[in-house]
Structure 1
Amino acid sequence: MPGRVGRRSAATSEETTSRRTATRTRRTAAALAPRDEGPETLLRKQIAKFFSDAQHGEETHKKLVSGMRNVQEAVCYESGHVNPKYKQFGDFSEEDFNEEVKRCVYRLLEIKKSEKAGDRIRAFLVEFLKTAIQKDYEALAGAQAEEVLDSPSTRLKSEIQNILLDSMGSKDKIVRFRATETLARLITDIEDELIEDDYYKCRRALMRRLEDKEASIRVQAAIGFGTLATRYEDQDGSDAEDDDRAGGLFRLLTVMQQDPSAEVRRAILLNLPLDDPRTRPYMIERARDSDVTMRRLVYKRLLPALGDFRQLKMAERDKVIRWGLRDRDVGVQQATARLLCEHWIRVCEQTEPGETGVAVESENRGLLKRAALIEFCKQIRILRTGLEGGMAHDAMKALWAGRPDYLHDITFRDQEFWNDLTLEKVFVMRTFTDYCSNSEDEAVQDLRDTKMPELTAVGSVLQKWLQALVEESRRTSKMPEVDEQTLKELDALEFLVVQLLHIVLGLDLNDRVGGKQIYHLIQGPLERWDIADSCTELMVDILHRVCDSRKDFIDIIKKSIEEVRDSVNDIHDEKVGDNDVVMSDHDDESFHSAQSEASDDTAIPSSPRAQQPPEMKDNVQELLARMKCLHLVGCMMKHVSLKVLKEPKTRDFVFETLKGDILNDLVAPSMSRKLPSVRASALPCLAHFGFLQKNLAESNMVVMAHAFDKGDVDLQIAAIRALTDWAAVYRDLFANNPQKADPNNKWLLPEDVYLQGFASEEPEIRFEACKAAFKLLLPYHSPFDEEFTQQILFEFVIGYFNPQNANDTGLRQALVYGLSSYCHSRTERALLFSRLVPTVVRKLVQLIENELDDDEKEDMTPWPKVTEILASWTDARLVYGKRDTALGAAEDPHTNLAALILERVRKSTCTGVELKVLMSLLTKLYISPAPPQSAAGEVFPDAGEDRELLETLYELVTEAVEEGMAPDAVSRNYLKRLETGLKKRLVEVEGAVEEVTKGVTSIKVEDQTEQAEEDEEQEKTVAQSGRRSAEATTTAEGEGEVTTTTVEAEDEEDEEKREKEDEEEEDTFIAGMQGESTRMPLFEEDEAEDDDTVRDLSRASRRTPRRAASRRHTAVTESDIIDELLESELEE
């Protein structure tokens, strides 16, 4: 057998190509060979002519269908129904006609998908069968049903259907596609009733094609199967044949959810019945599809076709509006807004079912449109969706923007409208004022004053409902148990008051009469401890706008706080000292009080909690009053603290005004309370005071760190935010911390809050710590030192690649955005990150080997992807603004990373997996073989640190090449190329130095005597002749080396190519795009050679090393071996 292979390998390329083509032709002929067609007849010529003419265009199809029907009537029917022009075909039978049509169907199955002729022939065939069956029904209208179902046309359709069913299992994807497509069109376009046997045959065949590896075939199967499931399936969706499987409709919905192809999902979506309550939730679910075309289709075609949107459930309406208006694609947002403005609002305009408001007179048009908006708000459950950030705000904004006629026609000045306010009415007014206030168009802003009543009228209504809220809150607070109905009524009343307060904020508060009225009516409810926080915050915002000065604003809030504290009779005097209660019963250390004085000393108590007396049980009203006071302080400081940062005198005045009554007597004692809710309310207030005095922030950093260490989730998040805000304002806050220099420090450092937060088990804390850390890392001047920056970046990279965080999409999105932005913002940061990469790889290898289970290892990001991401983050060419900047070797992150990688692989502690990953990463680094060059073309020769790094890297590369550290051909070739490039770059530097040295020597030579010059010229002549002979010898040897090197390079390239292919196949297996029990190919070009690839891999696995080495020099292909085997069989 080896001898035969050798003889075949010596054959010419022409013989190999011709025999390979012959073999392929024989295989195709065996797969698609038609039956014995017999002699050519007149009927065959005519039928073939019809199909041949049909492929040129669909304009003549109607005429061709009529002619072919006449031929069928001449063949299959009595002479009385035959057109005289076609009597010559009367000698043929029905079987002859059917055979000729089926002959053309076989030809149709061989036409590729890209050929338009195939689509035209298929359309002609379906149109003919549809017309023929329809005429058969008309001709046999008076006959029995059995005769109608057994007409010549239905028999022809049944025979064609059997051909298609048999061809749908073919190995040729072209045949499968055409067969599935034609069968799907027959089912959808011809609405005749299938017999039970044909129905189940088509159903089983199409169900199998739903799992085909070709997406185009699955699309056609979905079209046909959708028609079967909706037209013939039982209403309960059950399958009469298979009881252990759900019905065909449920199967189709499952495919729509899980198929990886957007075209398949789209085909199923368009063929589902919209009025079926079983399919509607699945169709609405496609509004969150990953394909943007799919989402647009839902909002542009399906939902408008629904008609009355009130058929949807309340939760479904909420999803449709929220998903559409907040979609990341602008086209989906526009389609959703058009849906609301053109369809849903028209449904709400109907005063009665079937009656529209088109014929209403112009003076009543505004009332009609206002009623339509109120009805729309009722249909979207405004009490829940109208909260801050709810989807009702987005929906109303889209309506106001998409229907300008509503803006101009609606008015809110009539007294009857205000006398009977409802949640929907007040929400419509609130969104109107918000839209007009935020609009950039001055004409729209003027509508707010013309359509809304005066501020005094709105103030009177606000006073009425505020009083009602105060009375209801007082009544509810005195009830021992509050039932659900009472809570709903209170929530509705609070919602109405909140909307009225927003309306007041949107109006012009510069009116002195109206502003003074608002000023007085708000002070009373502001002093109530039982008013909702949402109302309190808005009232403080209104006061800040109507007060004449900042001092008046602070005095009013202080007065309100005193009234709240005095309104509770059993409030105990607060004491600040060591006897205050610790944060939690499980704390090992006592929680010290916050530093209320602006001093540089940080008092940290050392007395354990066991030495303190237990605290008495707090009264509920006292706690509520304290939290109300803290909330007032927070709302006030929001308007004061950050706005006085650049005003030192005002800042000191505000601090001295608030230090005694607010900071020392309220905020600091509240930080040592037992209840977490009280501490969580006090901590933001302390953070605001830190903006007023830097030394106060420095002295209370340890308080924030301890609150994070011992607090619950809410307190930990508040502590992270407070520390981050302080560090963002005071950049040297962490550097001046005296705890760093204390070796006996037992408290948590403020910087470690971010590390511990990222290591927390709570997803909210991890996300908050990650977001806060990047907020401090990304600015130009980061408050973190280099050591801590490397530490936290290391944890972030490990967390990003850790499969245990795979389901935390928010965290992963924050990490990938933050790390990319950090590394690509400055070259120094990319260089800093490159020093972490070898350690990151080692940690990831240990993580996979020691800490992950089998399922988590499967979810791990493949190593090729990991190395690609790390190389991208350390690429200086991707740094913003540095694309054309010349960088020296010492400043280049990839050059430094290459040196670190080669130093790491030399160590004995480097495992085999780590070596392979690091060398794979090395091949993805870009190291220029030439010195850096500016955009203007100026070359900067390497010198100093750049030259030292290049020499070190060259030595490491040379050592790696000599010792054979590379695990594969790709790495070996890269090391050789890198060695050559570095050698060339270093030689250029030496040449530049040598030229400078020669210039200095020539100056010295000019000062010598003429005799010395002559002697030197003679020596130069001799040296030049010797140099020429040496160069000639070197050239000859070099040519021989080039020849040898070329052959070796070709062998290495072949080996590299094979190893790359193996690596790509391994990556494909790891990536594994898997459908529902169907493995989908990763690339389109791999689909046609799927079976051959499997055979090649199995054959390669049996190849011995010696045989593989021999094939490097003898080009023996697979087709040569197959052809030789065929020849040996023929000889035998």
Structure 2
Amino acid sequence: MSSIERIADIFADAQDTSINHKSLTKRLRKIEAKNENNRSSFEEQVKKCAIRCLEVAKSEKAGQNIVRFICTYCAATQNEEQENEEQEEDGTNITNQIMIVLLPYMSAKDKVVRYRATQIVSQLMGIVQEIEDELYQAIRHELGKRVRDKVPAIRLEAVCALGRLLENEMDEEAQAADQERDEDEEMLDEDDERESTGLLDKLLDVLQNDTNAEVRKALLLNLPIEPKTLPYLLERARDKDAGVRVKLYSKLMPNLGDFRHLSLSMREKLLRWGLRDRDERVRKSAAKMFSTMWIEQIAKTLQQTDADVEEGQPKKKKQVGYYEPDVAALVELLERIDILNAGQDDGVGPEAMREFWSLRPDYFDTVTFDDTFWTDLSAESAFMARSFYDHCSQNEAAQSKAEEDQKFPEVTRFGFHLQRELNRVLELRGTTSEEPDEETLAEQEFIAEQLLHIAHTLDYTDEIGRRKMFSLLRQMLSMSDLPEEITKLTIETLRLTCTSDLAGEKEFIAIVQEAIAEVHDTLNDDNQDEETDDNDNGTNRATTPTDSDSFVSAHSELSVQTDRTARQGPSAQDKRLAKMTPEEQEQYHLRTLLIQLKCLHIAHTMLQNITSDFSSNVSLETMLNTLIIPAIQSREAPLRERAIECLGLACLLSPSLARDNKEMFVYCMRKGHEELRMQCLKILCDCAVTHHSRDKDGDGDGDQGLDLAPFVEAFGYSPEVQLCATTCIAKLMMCGFYKPGAKSVDVDGQEQEEEGDEAVEIFENAIEEAAQSGTKGHELLAKVKAALVADERGRGVIEEGRRQS
């Protein structure tokens, strides 16, 4: 048997296993060397063997082994030629010859042949060192057509090859551009630039729109990371396939290099998309990216800088793969994700730090909170402390360890730190000749908010510390210049300092109402100051505030004149307003409106933190009649809307109040703007859900029937209002108002009406009307109904639409 004939035996042995490919490659290379004078016959035999494997299906292991052997042999040939510097010209080397003969098969009718030909060419393109321009363009053209092939496996091989080609082309163009820029000549040939851009656009289009997840994943990992491609690559964090999203966080991000090269918005998006992903693997990958890769990149930079400064100092032992825990690196990491915005309740900061403390116990052990830390707070360090204590409050083991290491602050001392930061906020917001720096004010407010969040986690069994916090919060709550978010957190913390029983709640209500009165009294104080100024200018008699200067009368000054005011004639306020210039009057009205809004905000937050019924607390009734109801009657839209929110919370605490004000909410839903309509629908829904059990048991004084008319009427408004209405109806259905199959069968087999049959008919009509009118969200109602029917049938309550007796 001649050496040429033994080539087929070598390929036959190669298809069995890939273990002996190196030895078979050496044998084939020896045959090639022996037939140097008969090279054409040798190449023909090799090409025939390569063509024979094109009909082998993808699932066959033998076909994959042959492809690997061809690539191993061609790689060995390329390496030897490179070492001997004997590059063959005119494309006569064996690698080019195999690609030339396989090129027509890439367009074959048989999908198996197309796949194998594309696979071999694709893998050989990653091996070849040099290739003729003509052959290169032909292969590139065929691969471009295979990108649109109907077989996903073929598209996968094509995009892998084109990704490598694109990277080489972009590198060559960059080098040519730099060279021509230095020579002050034109940048690139227009045709070459247009051709490369067309290939990139085609691959980016495939990355966005290909239906196969493996194709998108291959492009994600093979496309070059360039300024133009980076947004498209990072966009795959929202890919519909979880595997692609995992690859982005676990593979692409490490290859990306230093995350600080990304824009601030992109960092925030990557964290938010990853940590809030529905797939657990993606969430873990995103958490690992934040807790290990990003923090280590910063720690590496900081410790390299320290090494330059402390050269010659002995190095500390560190965990393999990690740098020494550095609190400065953690602070910088929080700064890099703009924690001032990401640290809000709806931001991604709390979620990211919760994962960080779980994955990095070394940092948990390293951080310390001494007096120096609390004195020199920044936005980042304050948020770090807040996230640390939040983690401890949610993890008993972490809390025990923190208490053992004495990392929880003493309540009394913490109260002084909180008082200092709150005073700074009031100083910055105080009336000064110069406007305060917005960035400084925002940062200081953020620090105060974080300390109030920390106050939620403290132990108030220490009576001295509790009294300190109690007096501080009570004092700060009466400050009219305190921002709304800080006011909200202050009220929530104040509720924690009071006991959890009924007596503690009454004390809490009384304190908050005192604060509301003090905040409103700032209006009278301003008026009194103005009168004092008038007296200094020649007035002989000092004017004192009268009963008409109460909250109701001050509000009436902005809305409607009461009968009492008409009988008494012009009030002191009217006289003062008459003496003011138009600009002063406008400023006075604005100040009054802001004070009233602040009072309503305090009342709104208080109602969110109590459970007392209005009928059992006279002070709540007084607040309703003197603060909330007059504000609802106001002409000022912001005042009315906030007052309606407060009334809605009050209705949740009182069934009779909910019943009496139902028509008012319906009227506001009909006459109000879009936001007010949605707000009223939510109030009606919440009131029905809250008081449903009382009404059903007959223990309450609420409505005995459910009225869906306002929700159905909302189907005729804007799409957002429609969606809100359908969501409310779905919520009512899932809360027990809708009983599917509400027919019962008596012992004689006759159907009889059940008590809930009327409610079922109401819901059925609402669902049907929503579907017929094409209401936004009507599919949700059908899905909820189907789920309830399936649940009832699964529990054996109904069968074929009938309720079992």
Identify the TM-score tier after normalising by the shorter chain.
Answer: 0.7 to 0.9
Check conservation: 2:148, 2:155, Cα contact below 8 A. Answer: yes
Aligned to 1:824: 790
Q: 2:612 aligns with which of 633, 644, 664?
A: 644
Q: 2:366 aligns with which of 406, 409, 422?
A: 409
Establish whether residue 553 from structure 1 lines up as the match of residue 467 from structure 2. no
% same residue: 29
Check conservation: 2:57, 2:63, Cα contact below 8 A. Answer: yes
2: CA distance, partners of 1:98 / 1:121: 16
2: CA distance, partners of 1:891 / 1:625: 59
Written as runs of structure 1 = structure 2, the 5 A alignment for 1:217-228 is 217-228=154-165
Q: 1:666 aligns with which of 583, 605, 627?
A: 627
Aligned to 1:101: 46
1: CA distance, partners of 2:725 / 2:404: 43
2: CA distance, partners of 1:239 / 1:262: 35
2: CA distance, partners of 1:193 / 1:793: 68
Aligned to 2:677: 716
Deviation at 1:890, TM superposition (A): 7.6
- Taking a change above 3 Å as real, the CA distance of residues 791 and 700 of structure 1, as seen in their structure-2 partners, is same
2: CA distance, partners of 1:509 / 1:449: 19
Establish whether residue 262 from structure 1 lines up as the match of residue 213 from structure 2. yes
- Taking a change above 3 Å as real, the CA distance of residues 418 and 739 of structure 1, as seen in their structure-2 partners, is closer
- Taking a change above 3 Å as real, the CA distance of residues 311 and 558 of structure 1, as seen in their structure-2 partners, is same
- Taking a change above 3 Å as real, the CA distance of residues 223 and 580 of structure 1, as seen in their structure-2 partners, is same
- Taking a change above 3 Å as real, the CA distance of residues 57 and 812 of structure 1, as seen in their structure-2 partners, is farther
- Taking a change above 3 Å as real, the CA distance of residues 294 and 638 of structure 1, as seen in their structure-2 partners, is same
Q: 2:601 aligns with which of 613, 620, 631?
A: 631
Establish whether residue 382 from structure 1 lines up as the match of residue 352 from structure 2. no
Instruction: Structure 2: state its 5+ residue gaps.
Output: 178-187, 308-313, 528-548, 561-584, 739-755
Aligned to 1:301: 251
Q: 1:574 aligns with which of 546, 552, 573?
A: 552
Deviation at 1:449, TM superposition (A): 7.7
Check conservation: 1:161, 1:183, Cα contact below 8 A. Answer: yes
Which amino acid in 1 is paired with 2:802?
E
Which amino acid in 2 is paired with 1:565?
H
- Taking a change above 3 Å as real, the CA distance of residues 443 and 668 of structure 1, as seen in their structure-2 partners, is closer
Q: 2:386 aligns with which of 430, 434, 441?
A: 430
Aligned to 2:102: 164
Written as runs of structure 1 = structure 2, the 5 A alignment for 1:1095-1106 is none
Please identify the structure whose Cα radius of gyration is greater: 1
Aligned to 2:640: 679
Check conservation: 2:291, 2:359, Cα contact below 8 A. Answer: yes
2: CA distance, partners of 1:226 / 1:124: 23
- Taking a change above 3 Å as real, the CA distance of residues 351 and 238 of structure 1, as seen in their structure-2 partners, is same
Aligned to 2:19: 59
Aligned to 1:176: 114
Establish whether residue 771 from structure 1 lines up as the match of residue 727 from structure 2. yes
Check conservation: 1:126, 1:186, Cα contact below 8 A. Answer: yes
Q: Structure 1-normalised TM-score? A: 0.59
Written as runs of structure 1 = structure 2, the 5 A alignment for 1:586-597 is none
Deviation at 1:823, TM superposition (A): 3.1
* SS of equivalent residue, structure 1 residue 387: coil
2: CA distance, partners of 1:250 / 1:716: 46
* SS of equivalent residue, structure 2 residue 717: coil
Superposed CA deviations along residues 602-628 of structure 1, whole A, max 9, x for unmatched, are: xxxxxxxxxxxxxx9781111111111
- Taking a change above 3 Å as real, the CA distance of residues 107 and 351 of structure 1, as seen in their structure-2 partners, is closer
Aligned to 1:27: none
* SS of equivalent residue, structure 1 residue 203: helix
Written as runs of structure 1 = structure 2, the 5 A alignment for 1:304-453 is 304-350=254-300, 352=302, 354=304, 359-360=315-316, 368-413=325-370, 415-441=371-397, 443-444=399-400, 446-447=402-403, 450-453=406-409
1: CA distance, partners of 2:515 / 2:707: 35
1: CA distance, partners of 2:326 / 2:512: 42
Q: 2:426 aligns with which of 458, 470, 488?
A: 470
Superposed CA deviations along residues 852-877 of structure 1, whole A, max 9, x for unmatched, are: xxxxxxxxxxxxxxxxxxxxxxxxxx
- Taking a change above 3 Å as real, the CA distance of residues 270 and 425 of structure 1, as seen in their structure-2 partners, is same
Which amino acid in 1 is paired with 2:459?
D
- Taking a change above 3 Å as real, the CA distance of residues 448 and 333 of structure 1, as seen in their structure-2 partners, is farther
- Taking a change above 3 Å as real, the CA distance of residues 160 and 239 of structure 1, as seen in their structure-2 partners, is farther
- Taking a change above 3 Å as real, the CA distance of residues 242 and 542 of structure 1, as seen in their structure-2 partners, is closer
Instruction: Structure 1: state its 5+ residue gaps.
Output: 1-40, 77-89, 142-146, 583-615, 646-650, 742-748, 806-810, 827-878, 893-931, 933-939, 941-1132
Q: Structure 2-normalised TM-score? A: 0.81
- Taking a change above 3 Å as real, the CA distance of residues 66 and 267 of structure 1, as seen in their structure-2 partners, is same
- Taking a change above 3 Å as real, the CA distance of residues 555 and 185 of structure 1, as seen in their structure-2 partners, is same
Check conservation: 1:470, 1:525, Cα contact below 8 A. Answer: no
- Taking a change above 3 Å as real, the CA distance of residues 578 and 821 of structure 1, as seen in their structure-2 partners, is farther
- Taking a change above 3 Å as real, the CA distance of residues 171 and 821 of structure 1, as seen in their structure-2 partners, is same
1: CA distance, partners of 2:401 / 2:620: 38
Aligned to 1:1099: none
Establish whether residue 729 from structure 1 lines up as the match of residue 699 from structure 2. no
* SS of equivalent residue, structure 1 residue 350: helix
Superposed CA deviations along residues 173-198 of structure 1, whole A, max 9, x for unmatched, are: 011001100000000133x1222212
Deviation at 1:715, TM superposition (A): 1.8
Aligned to 2:802: 891
- Taking a change above 3 Å as real, the CA distance of residues 122 and 418 of structure 1, as seen in their structure-2 partners, is same
Deviation at 1:44, TM superposition (A): 4.0
Check conservation: 2:770, 2:778, Cα contact below 8 A. Answer: no
* SS of equivalent residue, structure 2 residue 194: coil
Deviation at 1:547, TM superposition (A): 2.8
Aligned to 2:578: none
Written as runs of structure 1 = structure 2, the 5 A alignment for 1:1112-1123 is none
Establish whether residue 488 from structure 1 lines up as the match of residue 439 from structure 2. yes
2: CA distance, partners of 1:794 / 1:210: 46
2: CA distance, partners of 1:59 / 1:309: 41
Which amino acid in 2 is paired with 1:118?
G
- Taking a change above 3 Å as real, the CA distance of residues 490 and 580 of structure 1, as seen in their structure-2 partners, is closer
Check conservation: 2:67, 2:120, Cα contact below 8 A. Answer: yes
Deviation at 1:815, TM superposition (A): 4.2
- Taking a change above 3 Å as real, the CA distance of residues 501 and 576 of structure 1, as seen in their structure-2 partners, is closer
Establish whether residue 193 from structure 1 lines up as the match of residue 193 from structure 2. no
Check conservation: 2:668, 2:677, Cα contact below 8 A. Answer: yes
Higher mean C-alpha displacement, 226-235 vs 351-360 = 351-360
Aligned to 2:762: 788
2: CA distance, partners of 1:577 / 1:475: 24
Deviation at 1:148, TM superposition (A): 4.1
Aligned to 1:110: 55
Which amino acid in 2 is paired with 1:180?
T
Written as runs of structure 1 = structure 2, the 5 A alignment for 1:983-1022 is none
2: CA distance, partners of 1:448 / 1:766: 55
Check conservation: 1:411, 1:452, Cα contact below 8 A. Answer: no
Superposed CA deviations along residues 554-608 of structure 1, whole A, max 9, x for unmatched, are: 22111111111110235775359999969xxxxxxxxxxxxxxxxxxxxxxxxxx
Check conservation: 1:565, 1:625, Cα contact below 8 A. Answer: yes
Which amino acid in 1 is paired with 2:368?
T
* SS of equivalent residue, structure 1 residue 352: helix
Aligned to 1:277: 227
- Taking a change above 3 Å as real, the CA distance of residues 186 and 540 of structure 1, as seen in their structure-2 partners, is same
Deviation at 1:702, TM superposition (A): 0.7
Which amino acid in 2 is paired with 1:881?
R
- Taking a change above 3 Å as real, the CA distance of residues 819 and 674 of structure 1, as seen in their structure-2 partners, is farther
Aligned to 1:880: 794
- Taking a change above 3 Å as real, the CA distance of residues 326 and 448 of structure 1, as seen in their structure-2 partners, is farther
Superposed CA deviations along residues 667-694 of structure 1, whole A, max 9, x for unmatched, are: 0011122232212211121123223432
Establish whether residue 126 from structure 1 lines up as the match of residue 104 from structure 2. no
* SS of equivalent residue, structure 1 residue 126: helix
- Taking a change above 3 Å as real, the CA distance of residues 366 and 467 of structure 1, as seen in their structure-2 partners, is farther
Which amino acid in 1 is paired with 2:118?
T
